[in-house]
């Protein structure tokens, strides 16, 4: 199905190459959950969001919050390829003096709307943004990406209640539902199913999609935009490590950098060096 969207497919592949190269250069980082989110971020930054890299203070701009802040390489690659800063900065990930820290920094990186890393707090911040946008009568949407391991955090559910209470229909949350977290399978660490019923019971509109199918991602976001009086949770079924065969569905690649030989193998699978 992604063959119907050649430009988006090209961008997503480039973002995946960037992820591999920057984490390899840094010698540390989180490839698994960055790769699983690449298609979602591609649609947001290159198809859906009302943003302008030349005008960071655009009043009615849409905002994105990466609540699973450890997947920063995916966000950085999307921002660079969208024109917020030079792609040459990417290989400086986690280096002393680089603006690209291990987790997003809203004060140092153009296009980053919220500093994140402590799991669950980015989600709470996005709800504050959505409420503020309503109060200020702005015509903007707030998007926030959570990890499925992240929703083990209790503050996520407190925030979920608040979003439904205030009827934040300008808020779209996306769950990167790849089934794995740092310690293994979700059901073994802390079972989160039935995840759709949980969010519905908290007063959310719920949409389920294939998180690697551009058409389903686009349609899901469009449906969320048309939903009134309640926030939307898009449950995106994804594959951790998507695009690199030896990383796919392997929890061991949650936070390990590929060595040189592994980097070359991964890039070859993705179509060659960037």
Tens digit of pLDDT for each residue in 27-54?
Answer: 999 999 999 999 999 999 999 999 999 9
CA distance 76 to 225: 25
Res. 188: pLDDT tops 90: no
CA distance 192 to 262: 32
Measured CA angle at 18 (ends 16, 19), to 5 deg: 65
**Smallest Cα–Cα separation from 243: which of 231, 230, 258, 233?**
258
**Total number of domains in the chain:** 1
In this prediction, residue 74 carries a pLDDT of 98
pLDDT in tens, 112-166: 999 999 999 999 999 999 999 999 999 999 999 999 999 999 999 999 999 999 9
Segments forming the whole domain that contains residue 166: 2-269
**Smallest Cα–Cα separation from 15: which of 65, 70, 66, 74?**
74
183 in a domain, yes or no?
yes
99 in a domain, yes or no?
yes
Res. 2: pLDDT tops 90: no
Q: pLDDT band at residue 184, thresholds of 50, 70 and 90?
A: confident
Across 244-273, b (16+ Cβ under 10 Å) vs e yields beebbbebebbebbbeeebbebbbeebeee
Structure tokens at 184: 């293994």
Predicted TM-score (pTM) of this structure: 0.96
Q: What is the mean pLDDT of the chain?
A: 96
Secondary-structure breakdown of the chain: helix, strand, coil percentages, each rounded to the nearest 5 = 45, 10, 40
In this prediction, residue 85 carries a pLDDT of 98
74 in a domain, yes or no?
yes
**Does an H or E element contain 159, and which?**
helix 154-165
Residues 79, 45 contacting (CB under 8 angstroms): yes
274 in a domain, yes or no?
no
134 in a domain, yes or no?
yes
pLDDT in tens, 193-215: 999 999 999 999 999 999 999 99
**Does an H or E element contain 64, and which?**
strand 63-66
CA distance 244 to 165: 41
96 in a domain, yes or no?
yes
Domain of 71, CATH number, reads 3.40.50.970
């Amino acid at each position: 199905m992604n063959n119907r969207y050649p430009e988006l497919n090209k961008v997503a592949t480039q973002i995946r190459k960037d992820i591999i190269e920057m984490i390899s250069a840094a010698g540390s980082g989180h490839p698994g959950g960055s790769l699983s989110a690449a298609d979602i971020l591609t649609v947001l930054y290159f198809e859906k969001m009302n943003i302008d890299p030349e005008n960071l203070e655009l009043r009615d701009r849409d905002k994105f919050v990466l609540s699973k802040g450890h997947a920063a390489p995916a966000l950085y690659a999307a921002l660079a390829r969208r024109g917020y800063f030079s792609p040459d900065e990417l290989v400086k990930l986690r280096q002393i003096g680089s603006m690209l820290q291990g987790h997003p920094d809203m004060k140092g990186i153009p296009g980053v709307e919220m500093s994140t890393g402590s799991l669950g707090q980015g989600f709470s911040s996005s709800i504050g943004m959505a409420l503020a946008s309503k109060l200020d009568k702005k015509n903007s949407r707030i998007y926030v990406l959570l990890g499925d391991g992240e929703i083990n955090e209790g503050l996520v559910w407190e925030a979920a209640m608040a979003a439904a209470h205030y009827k934040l229909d300008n808020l779209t949350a996306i769950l990167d539902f790849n089934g794995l977290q740092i310690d293994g399978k979700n059901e073994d660490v802390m079972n989160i199913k039935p995840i759709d019923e949980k969010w519905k019971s908290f007063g959310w509109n719920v949409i389920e999609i294939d998180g690697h199918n551009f058409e389903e991602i686009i349609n899901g976001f469009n449906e969320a935009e048309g939903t009134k009086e309640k926030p939307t949770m898009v449950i995106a079924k994804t594959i951790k490590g998507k695009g690199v065969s030896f990383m796919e569905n392997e929890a061991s690649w949650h936070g390990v950098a590929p060595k040189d030989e592994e980097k070359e193998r991964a890039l070859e699978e993705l179509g060659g060096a960037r």
